């Protein structure tokens, strides 16, 4: 049975992937940032994690991971010319956060 860490598993693509992996027999260690999530599927376990925190704990992970899926959610729903530079910077930080955790 494979073990996957799925960052951003509480909604959208991440949530769907978590369910597909679990249905295929894998263990999914899903994370959420703000929207606490649970699952009735025994192979999915959710944990709170904000990848932008200075210090994060990954103590909930098993000794061996077979894969990491990175789906943190952020979307700027407005015309391009109205997106502020700080919004671009925040989205970039979210995207770049994974490299700091050596996963």
pLDDT reported for residue 41:
96
CATH class of 3-101: alpha beta
pLDDT in tens, the chain (103 residues): 999 999 999 999 999 999 999 999 999 999 999 888 899 999 999 999 988 888 889 999 999 999 999 888 777 778 888 888 888 787 777 777 766 555 5
pLDDT for 98 equals: 65
Rg (CA), the chain: 15
The CA distance from 24 to 29, in Å, is: 14
pLDDT of residue 29: 98
Question: pLDDT value at position 103?
Answer: 53
Answer yes or no: are the C-beta atoms of 62 and 40 closer than 8 Å. Answer: no
Global model pTM greater than 0.75: yes
Cα–Cα distances in Å, from 36 out to 50, 81, 88? 12, 33, 26
Please report, for the chain, the start and end positions of each structural domain, with discontinuous segments joined by +.
3-101
């Amino acid at each position: 049975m494979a073990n996957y860490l799925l960052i951003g598993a509480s909604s959208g693509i991440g949530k769907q992937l978590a369910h597909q992996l679990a249905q295929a027999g894998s263990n999914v260690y899903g994370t959420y940032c703000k929207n606490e999530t649970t699952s009735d599927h025994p192979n999915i376990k959710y944990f709170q994690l904000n990848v932008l925190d200075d210090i994060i704990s990954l103590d909930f992970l098993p000794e061996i991971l077979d894969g990491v899926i990175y789906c943190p959610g952020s979307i700027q729903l407005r015309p391009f010319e109205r997106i502020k530079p700080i919004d671009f910077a925040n989205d970039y930080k979210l995207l770049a956060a994974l490299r700091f955790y050596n996963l």
